[in-house]
């Protein structure tokens, strides 16, 4: 029998960071190691895909289709999740496909995913009725999962995720890309404690709006106990500063927690910097969600040998 998700037999560990800066500011930092749940469907992707895959199957679809860039963790995770659920998958990829696929896309095709390149100009309109109709004409029936898996089903999975974590904390922290994870965290906290997102793309207003819209859609109401730190994108999505790369390497080595610089590196960099700037009152406990993404490291290294 095909199964997704195969529920992890033990919950991922909670790791406390032992660090001088934290100590001196009276702040505790706990890391929920969701990177360890599943080798291919790790971190937040497992939680965002779980009800999407379940719903696709319940509604009798045999194919799921979604969108992403050539280095998308979402596309990679979707390929593995769909395969283990016995579903076919189609990944609509922004831009042209290189003659030699990068390791992320190679892994996706190895898990049975059909890749469909889409020009950047068309990709901007990828979820328009006309484009979806054309995709249906090409591929037949499919269950559509938006880019990043950030729909109400993805939000639901992340809401249940945060609610299931057995830890005392004051602020739950996560990186923000398409916003579904933070929206789920906000929904799961249901007005209690606080959520802090670290934006990994440029354009704070845009992220803020997107998360607020997802929360409204899922909860039918707004919450105000959350915030996105806008100044830690290091130039934008998949852009890195030398400072960020150095921090990521040092933190990974010191605390034995693997990080990549696109999401989790920016999250921990931001938390460390905010602690140094006395942003948190002494006595605060932070819970950082390790959202995974480590399978992308191989692709990143191939792309940027020089910096990694």
Residues at the interface with ligand PLP (CB under 6 A): 43-45, 73-74, 148, 150, 175-181, 263-264, 291-293
Shortest Å distance, C-beta 155 to ligand PLP: 9
Residue with smaller CB distance to ligand PLP, 25 or 157: 157
Residue with smaller CB distance to ligand PLP, 17 or 292: 292
* Number of Cα atoms under 13 Å in the Cβ half of residue 298: 11
Residue with smaller CB distance to ligand PLP, 73 or 83: 73
Residue with smaller CB distance to ligand PLP, 18 or 127: 127
Shortest Å distance, C-beta 130 to ligand PLP: 25
Residue with smaller CB distance to ligand PLP, 25 or 214: 214
Shortest Å distance, C-beta 292 to ligand PLP: 5
Q: Provide the 10 A C-beta neighbour count for residue 85.
A: 20
CB of 41 within 8 A of CB of 80?
Answer: yes
Comparing CA positions, the residue from 89, 7, 85 lying closest to residue 47 is 7
Shortest Å distance, C-beta 23 to ligand PLP: 27
Shortest Å distance, C-beta 47 to ligand PLP: 9
Residue with smaller CB distance to ligand PLP, 25 or 161: 161
Return the SS3 of 14: strand
299 cis-preceded (ω within 30 degrees of 0): no
- The residue at minimum Cβ distance from ligand PLP is 293
Could you identify the residue written with the tokens 């693997």?
Answer: 258
Cα 161 to Cα 76, 185, 192, 217, distances in angstroms: 21, 8, 15, 18
Residue with smaller CB distance to ligand PLP, 65 or 199: 199
End-to-end CA distance of the chain: 40
Shortest Å distance, C-beta 278 to ligand PLP: 26
Comparing CA positions, the residue from 86, 39, 38 lying closest to residue 62 is 86
Q: Residue 284: beta bridge partners?
A: none
Q: What angle do CA 246, 261, 181 make, to 5 degrees?
A: 140
Q: Residue 89: beta bridge partners?
A: 64, 113
Shortest Å distance, C-beta 9 to ligand PLP: 23
Shortest Å distance, C-beta 104 to ligand PLP: 11
Backbone angles phi, psi at 284, to 5 degrees: -75, 140
Residue with smaller CB distance to ligand PLP, 25 or 288: 288
Q: Distance (Å, rounded) from C-alpha 174 to C-alpha 145?
A: 22
């Amino acid at each position: 029998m095909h199964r997704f998700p195969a529920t992890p037999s033990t919950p991922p560990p909670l790791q406390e960071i032992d660090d001088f800066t934290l100590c001196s500011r009276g702040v505790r930092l706990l890391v929920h190691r969701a990177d360890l749940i599943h080798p291919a469907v790790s971190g937040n992707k497992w939680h965002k895909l779980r009800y999407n895959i379940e719903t696709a199957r319940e509604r009798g679809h045999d194919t799921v289709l979604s969108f992403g860039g050539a280095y998308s963790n979402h596309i990679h995770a979707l390929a593995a999740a769909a395969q283990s659920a016995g579903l076919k998958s189609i990944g609509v990829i922004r831009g042209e496909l290189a003659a030699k696929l990068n390791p992320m896309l190679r892994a996706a095709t190895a898990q049975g995913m059909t890749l469909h390149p889409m020009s950047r100009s068309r990709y901007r309109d990828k979820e328009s009725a006309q484009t979806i109709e054309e995709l249906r004409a090409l591929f037949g029936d499919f269950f559509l999962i938006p880019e990043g898996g950030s729909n109400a089903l993805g939000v639901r999975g992340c809401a249940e995720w945060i609610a299931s974590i057995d830890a005392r904390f004051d602020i739950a922290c996560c990186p923000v890309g398409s916003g579904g994870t933070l929206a789920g965290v906000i929904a799961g906290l249901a007005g209690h404690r606080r959520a802090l997102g670290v934006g990994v793309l440029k354009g704070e207003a845009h992220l803020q709006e997107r998360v607020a819209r997802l929360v409204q859609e899922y909860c039918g109401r707004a919450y105000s106990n959350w915030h996105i730190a806008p100044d830690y994108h290091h130039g934008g999505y998949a852009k890195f500063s030398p400072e960020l790369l150095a921090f990521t390497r040092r933190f990974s080595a010191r605390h034995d927690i693997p990080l990549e610089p696109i999401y989790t590196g920016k999250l921990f960099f931001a938390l460390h910097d905010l602690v140094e700037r006395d942003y948190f009152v002494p006595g605060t406990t932070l819970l950082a969600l390790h959202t995974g993404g480590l399978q992308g490291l191989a692709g990143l290294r191939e792309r940027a040998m020089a910096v990694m």
